[in-house]
Each structure stands twice: as structure tokens, then as C-alpha cells.
Amino acid sequence: MDANLTAPADAATSEVAAEAARRRTFAIIAHPDAGKTTLTEKLLLKGGAIQLAGAVRAKGNARRTRSDWMKIEQDRGISVATSVMTFERGGLVFNLLDTPGHEDFSEDTYRTLTAVDAAVMVLDAAKGIESQTRKLFEVCRLRDIPIITFVNKMDRESRDPFELIDEIEKTLALDAAPVAWPVGRASEFAGTWDLLEKHFLPVDADDSSAVALSGLDDPKLDALVGAERAAALREEAELAEGACPPFDLEAFRQGTLTPVFFGSALRDFGVGHLLDGLARYAPPPGAREGDPRAVAPEEPKLTGFVFKVQANMDPNHRDRVAFVRLCSGKLVKGMRLRQVRTGKQVPVNAPLFFFAKDRQVAEEAWPGDVVGVANHGTLRIGDTLTEGEELHFRGVPSFAPEILRHVRLEDPMLAKKLKTALDQLAEEGVVQLFRPLDGSLPVVGVVGQLQLDVLQSRLKVEYGVPAGFQDTIWSMMRWVAGEDKAALERFAQQNRRDAGEDHDGALVAFFGSDWRRKRAEEEWPMLRFHAVREQHGLVAARK
């Protein structure tokens, strides 16, 4: 083959590979109140993405955090939607996905974690590992996502660092390697000792103000932190280096070891050190499993998948944006991509980069980047986009909801607006939407009560539709599948009162008890009743 013909392709591949290597795409996971949103704001501040960080518990204008932009988030001081923020630092591009902290939004968090290459686990220094932290960690473990641990609030009363490290190892079955060690506790907290670089980071000083020392025996340490704290540090650091496993990059990237940082997000201490750790240790985009093949990031042809759809980020324009994680190739403004599920062409005329609610048009984007694509109801969560190849990315699931409610409309004249609103919010993944086959009131499915509160708030604020909810006669639902199309049709006809279709037209069954579900499985052995449904390759409607 002529070398001149292969050169452009080789050049394109090397350019894509170089840009992919610059990307660090990560999520922040934490139990509510561990300080996740505050840490997010400070990371953005370090990256120059914002000029003034907002504190979640501040008042008035100071409270307007950049990552929590919905009205209900600002009113309650919680994160209920995934925010995406992009910034550059030190020649690297960071894509930060801030996930909902509340357990009622675990499905949104799960989908977000399919789009990242690493995660930062935030622990409250006084509380350690809490229930939601454990759940989110298990999601990360399913995908072998490398995790960096940030022990927050060291400037307050806290547990012993050895106790926290021991808890990480025993509770999560994960090796914990401290890369920093706290000097003092609570009001006596003076900074951290970098166990790898052998320098001291003073609290309330800029991260560039690290003090280089010859070692822990350097007399300058006593002058910096006082003889008592210096003596305690020498003893603890020696014990930490002897008792804890050393940091191992390969073990970290395999998801079996976590480096541990200490600091205070509120005081902006240790955040730069954490960001440096992300830059140094977190992996760039890697190969991604697909059907029928895995995709390498350096491939010149573009591929990506939709992991989130957000409606009304700009209420003035009633917009809908699909969040696409790029897996390979180069995205250029104006491209037309193939939506594999339907075979349709999707124009990407103005792809967006995000800074939480703020946005700017992306002239180009690369593997690891998350871009927004204007969506007029075409793109769904789990969709794969390519330059033409028939390819599906796996691993974007939907889970059977734990709460089922009918939607009760206060004003019947708003029925059409309610249908539009529910359709859009179901596309977004705020709730799951089911339409009973007998034509009765639509059913929404959620994981927890807070999701219903958010749905009610957004229906009223964004769509002008006051609505309420009423109990259903069912306690669970399952997706119904099988190769026998005639059996599926018979099941639907015989169970019209207790069956419906989800937002994608797939058949679902409702049950009043687990006993009824087991009975259906016995009566219909040719059918399968699934609690989890893969989102790729969705059928447009039941045939």
C-alpha cells in the first residue's frame, strides 16, 4: 500500500491518542453532607473554571454553587442531578461529573459512573464510611473503577486516621495507601505531610507553598508545626509507612487499592494536592466494551454513548440536551452521526462543553470528553452514536423502581402539557414512566420519595403543571421478555389490567406482591421477568 495513503490515517490516530492521553474523566461520590459539592466547587476554582466558589450552607448569593443549579437543589442544599464541568490545568483536561448524593437518585448516579474512568470518594473525617458511600463504591467495583479517597473536614473533630484507613480496608475490602498524612487534628490541624514526595503542605497556604524538607528528622519541621505535633507526625508517619501498603499505580488502576488524601474542602486545603494526584494517577480513557467489539480510544472514527438526558437546563428555551461520553475519534462541530438504535442521522451542529449550567460551543472534542448534543426527543439514555458502524456500547442499565404511583392532575385542562412533561422527564431519567394497557392513569416509578418531590417541583416550576400522586395497587414491576412473540401478545391481552408499556414501548408487568410475580413466572415459563434492563439496542415498540 502507498505510504502516502496511510499517513493521514496514522496522523489522525496519533492526534486522537495524544488528546485522549490528556483527558481525566472522573466522578465524585459521597454520602450526603460529606462535603462533595463543596469539594466540587473548590476543584473548579483550582482549575480556573470559576472565580468564586459557593458554599452549600452559605446564605443568599454566596450560596449559589455552580454545580447545584436546579431550584430544588438551591432550596434544599442538596445535589439531585448530575452536573458536568470541564476545565484545564497543567496541560490536562479534566471532565468532572458531580453525581447526586442522595440515595433516591442512585440510578442517575449509576449511569453517570458508566461514563467515567476514575472516581473520588469523599469521606467525612468524623463519620467515615456511611451507607450511601458503600452503595456507590459497590457500583464502582462492578466496573473496576479506580478510586481516590479524600478524607474531608480534618479541621473539625475527627476519628483517628489509622481507624479510618482500617475501616476502608475492612468495609470495602480495598487496600488503602495513604499518600498524605495529617499533622494535628481539628483546631490543631496544621497541614499534611506528603509521604511520597517528602514535603510538608501547610494548612491555609497555597498548594504551591509546599515546604521541601530533607525528611521527617529535618529540624525545620519543628519550627513549622511545633515540637509536639512534629514528634507525633514522626511516630505516625513511620507507623503508616510500615503498616499500610505502599502506593502501587497498577493496583490502583485495577481498582484494588485506593490512595488516601486528607484535607478540608471548606478551607480549600488539600484540594490542589488531590487534583495533582488525579493528574498523576488517574487513567486516561481506555478501551470500552461494545457489541460486537471493544473500542480503543485512539481509533480515528468517532464513537460515543448517551448516559444522561437533561431537560430545561435553560427554561427560557425549553431545551433538551443529551450528554454524550466520547469513546474514540474526534468530534467536530457540524458532524452528522448515526444513532445506531434507529439508524437515523443526528446532526451535531453545536456540541456543548459544560461548566455546570453555563455552556459554550465546542469546536472539537476528543475521547474522554463529555459533550452536550441538542436533543428533540430523538436521543435516549443508552444510545450509541457512531460515524456509521453498527455498534452498541453495553453497561447502561435501567432498574425496576421500588415505588409506583399514579399521577393525579389537579386541572384536567392540562392533560396534554402533563403528557409532554412526563415524556421529557422520563427521557431524562428523572422517573420511569409506564402507561397501563387498559388506558388508566399513567404510572411513574422511582427509587425513593425524594424523586417524587423533585418530579412534583419540576412539573410545577418548569412546566406549569401542578400535580399530585396516588397509590397504585401494585408494589413492583418487571420487564417482560421472550423469543415467543405470540406468548408475549397473549400475556399482554390476558393481563391488560396489570401490564403496560415503558417509555420505549417495552412490555412491563405490575405485581401486587412477590408471590404474584413468582406465580406469573410459573404460569409463563416461556417468558422472562427482568428487574434490570440493558439500555442498548432498545426496540422502538413491541412487535
The rounded radius of gyration (Å) of the Cα atoms in the chain is 25
pLDDT tens digits, residue range 383-415?
999 999 999 998 777 788 889 999 998 888 999
Beta carbons of 149 and 188 less than 8 angstroms apart: no
The reported pLDDT for the residue numbered 430 is 77
Mean pLDDT of 130-147: 83
Residues whose CB falls within 8 Å of the CB of residue 154, separated by 6 or more in sequence, listed in order: 125, 182, 185, 189, 262, 263, 264, 269, 270
328 strand-pairing partners: 303
What is the three-class DSSP state of 413?
Answer: helix
Q: Is 35 left (phi over 0), alpha (psi -120 to 50) or beta?
A: left
pLDDT tens digits, residue range 322-380?
899 999 999 999 999 999 989 999 999 999 887 655 778 889 999 999 999 988 778 88
pLDDT tens digits, residue range 242-299?
999 999 999 999 999 999 999 999 988 899 999 999 999 999 999 999 999 999 999 9
Q: Kindly tell me if the per-residue pLDDT of 80 is higher than 80.
A: no
Higher-scoring residue by pLDDT: 326, 77: 326
Amino acid 263 reads G
- In the chain, pLDDT over 90 holds for what percent of residues? 53
CA distance 445 to 27: 26
Query: In this predicted structure, which of 24-28, 165-169, 184-188, 526-530 has the lowest mean pLDDT?
Result: 184-188
Residues whose CB falls within 8 Å of the CB of residue 323, separated by 6 or more in sequence, listed in order: 82, 84, 115, 306, 307, 308, 309, 310, 370, 371, 372
Beta carbons of 56 and 80 less than 8 angstroms apart: no
Confidence band, pLDDT 50/70/90 cuts, at residue 508: very high
The reported pLDDT for the residue numbered 3 is 45
Higher-scoring residue by pLDDT: 65, 199: 199
pLDDT tens digits, residue range 83-127?
788 888 899 999 998 776 556 556 777 788 889 999 999 999 999
Please give the model's pTM, rounded to 2 decimal places.
Answer: 0.80
The reported pLDDT for the residue numbered 348 is 93
Residue with cell 466522578: 27
Q: Find, among 74, 102, 76, 87, the residue nearest to 26 by Cα.
A: 87
Residue with cell 471493544: 294
pLDDT tens digits, residue range 429-476?
778 999 999 999 899 998 878 888 888 998 998 899 999 999 999 999
The reported pLDDT for the residue numbered 534 is 72
**How many CB atoms lie under 10 A from the CB of residue 484?**
12
Which residue stretches of 22-96 are H helix?
36-46, 71-76
Residue 232 φ then ψ, to 5° = -65, -40
Q: Find, among 103, 96, 173, the residue nearest to 135 by Cα.
A: 103
| Strand stretches in 196-287, DSSP E | 199-202, 211-212, 257-262
